[in-house]
Amino acid sequence: MVEKNDVTRLTYEQALAELETIVNTLESEQRSLEEALSLFARGQALTQHCTTLLDKAELKVRQVSDAMLETPTAED
Is residue 24 assigned to a domain?
yes
Residue 34 sits in a domain whose CATH number is 1.10.287
- Residue 6 and residue 45: Cα distance in Å, rounded? 10
pLDDT tens, residue by residue, 26-36: 999 899 999 99
pTM confidence score:
0.78
Give the Cα separation of 39 and 23 in Å (integer): 9
Query: Per the domain annotation, does 44 fall within a domain?
Result: yes
- With respect to residue 2, please indicate whether it lies within any of the assigned structural domains: no
Instruction: Please report whether residue 57 resides in a domain.
Output: yes
75 domain residue, yes or no: no
Residue 46: give the domain boundaries.
Answer: 7-70
d(CA 7, CA 41): 12
Q: Look at residue 2 in the predicted model and tell me its pLDDT.
A: 44
Domain count, the chain: 1
In a domain, 49, yes or no: yes
Q: Per residue in 47-59, pLDDT tens?
A: 999 999 999 999 9
